């Protein structure tokens, strides 16, 4: 199999533009590692930036974007399954697979070859946890010894599902580090100074709200009959915009709280990536403030030196 190239980093660091430019140079295809870009109709809030997939008149093929209906759940188990299918297809056609995204658990499940199984709903556990605060649920989640995804756990519903998964693995004594194939990967992290990251996040948020009609996108999802609770469970943009559109937050308060939440999310992403390094994933960090062409040259040189 062709060795994988992985591009990771916090939100607003420019991952997609780097990955697509690299794909244009290497005859590559992108496999998205984003827990919300899988959903159709959730475009602006998830930052799909599909225009980035056109590089110098060339269309860069992508995978695991727009593959599920908004309103449903999409698990890490499903991601691993769909990733492997896309990866093998890309390799079979002699192209270069490039994994790109910011969902740490998705990326780590591939790079560390976790064995995952489909975890059923546990009604009794859910009933016991109902009514607990997000802080209480996060504390409980941290008591489990297996892999936990604290990056995306920003609602009580997500925290309860994470605990449900942890409890299932513990009860059934499942060893999650076996059958998924061990893949070689050159893993590149895009490093961006904190203040610049914050500036980009704020600028991008206001652009999406004021120029790209992100409010309209969420309203259209609600109009399609997708329950508000489902959109709220996706967190960040979909959580706060749904709270605004259902009259639970004023516009100015929604923008303020959302901006803070995205900054906190980016910080948690970096914390997760550093944890991945401690758990054995080698990440080569590159200064994301360089011109894209310089970043691409750096990656290609690194790739040449590893062969």
pLDDT for 177 equals 45
pLDDT at 299: 97
The 3 state secondary structure assigned to 122-189 is CHHHHHHHCCCCHHHHHHHHCCCCCCCCCCCCCCHHHHHHHHHHHHHHHHHCCCCCCCCCCCCEEEEE
CA atoms within 13 A on the CB side of 264: 12
This prediction has a pTM of 0.84
Q: Which of 235, 83, 76 is nearest to 165 (CA)?
A: 76
- Long-range CB pairs of 162-168, under 8 A, 24+ apart, other chains included: 163/125, 163/129, 163/137, 164/119, 164/121, 164/122, 164/125, 164/126, 165/119, 166/141, 167/122, 167/125, 168/119, 168/120, 168/122
Q: Is the pLDDT of residue 63 over 90?
A: yes
Tens of pLDDT, residues 67-119: 999 999 898 989 999 999 999 999 999 999 999 999 999 999 999 998 776 77
Percent of the chain with pLDDT over 70: 93
Report the distance separating Cα 42 and Cα 230, nearest Å: 13
**What is the average pLDDT value for the chain, to the nearest integer?**
92
Token pair of 287 as six digits: 């200064």
Which tokens go with 209?
């709200």
Closest CA to 183 of 131, 76, 107: 107
Query: What residue ranges in the chain does DSSP mark as E strands?
Result: 4-8, 28-33, 39-40, 54-55, 58-59, 62-63, 68-69, 96-101, 185-191, 284-287
Q: What is the pLDDT of residues 256-304, one digit of tens each?
A: 999 999 999 999 999 999 999 999 999 999 999 999 999 999 999 999 8
Rg (CA), the chain: 19
Residues 6+ apart with CB under 8 A from 188: 5, 6, 7, 8, 283, 284, 285, 286, 299, 302
Contacts of 38 (CB under 8 A, 6+ apart): 32, 64, 65, 66, 67, 68, 74, 79
3-class DSSP state for residue 215? helix
- pLDDT (tens digit per residue) in 146-185: 654 555 566 788 788 888 887 777 776 655 444 789 999 9
pLDDT for res 219: 98
The secondary structure element, H or E, covering residue 223 is helix 214-223
């Amino acid at each position: 199999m062709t060795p994988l190239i992985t591009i990771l980093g916090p939100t607003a660091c420019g991952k997609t533009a780097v990955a697509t430019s690299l794909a244009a140079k290497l005859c590559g295809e992108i496999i998205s590692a984003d827990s919300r870009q899988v959903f159709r109709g959730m475009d602006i809030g998830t930052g799909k930036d599909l225009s980035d997939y056109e590089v110098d008149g060339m269309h860069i093929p992508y995978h695991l974007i727009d593959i599920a209906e908004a309103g449903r759940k999409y698990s890490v188990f499903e991601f691993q399954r769909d990733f492997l299918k896309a990866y093998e297809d890309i390799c079979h056609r002699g192209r270069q697979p490039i994994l790109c995204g910011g969902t740490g658990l998705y990326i780590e499940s591939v790079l560390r070859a976790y064995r995952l199984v489909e975890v059923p709903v546990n009604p009794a556990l859910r009933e016991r946890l109902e009514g607990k605060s997000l802080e209480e649920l996060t504390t409980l989640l941290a008591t489990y010894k297996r892999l936990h995804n604290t990056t995306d756990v920003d609602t009580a519903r997500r925290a309860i599902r994470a605990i449900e998964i942890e409890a299932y693995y513990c009860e059934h004594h499942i060893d999650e580090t076996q059958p998924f194939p061990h893949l070689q990967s050159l893993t590149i992290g895009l490093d961006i100074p904190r203040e610049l990251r914050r500036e980009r996040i704020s600028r991008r948020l206001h652009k999406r709200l004021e120029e790209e009609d992100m409010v309209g996108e969420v309203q259209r999802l609600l109009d399609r009959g997708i329950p508000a609770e489902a959109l709220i469970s996706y967190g960040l943009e979909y959580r706060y915009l749904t709270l605004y559109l259902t009259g639970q937050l004023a516009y100015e308060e929604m923008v303020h709280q959302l901006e803070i939440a995205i900054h906190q999310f980016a910080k948690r992403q970096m914390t997760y990536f550093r944890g991945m390094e401690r758990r054995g994933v080698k990440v080569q960090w590159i200064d994301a403030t360089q011109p894209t062409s310089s970043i691409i040259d750096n990656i290609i040189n690194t790739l040449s030196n590893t062969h």
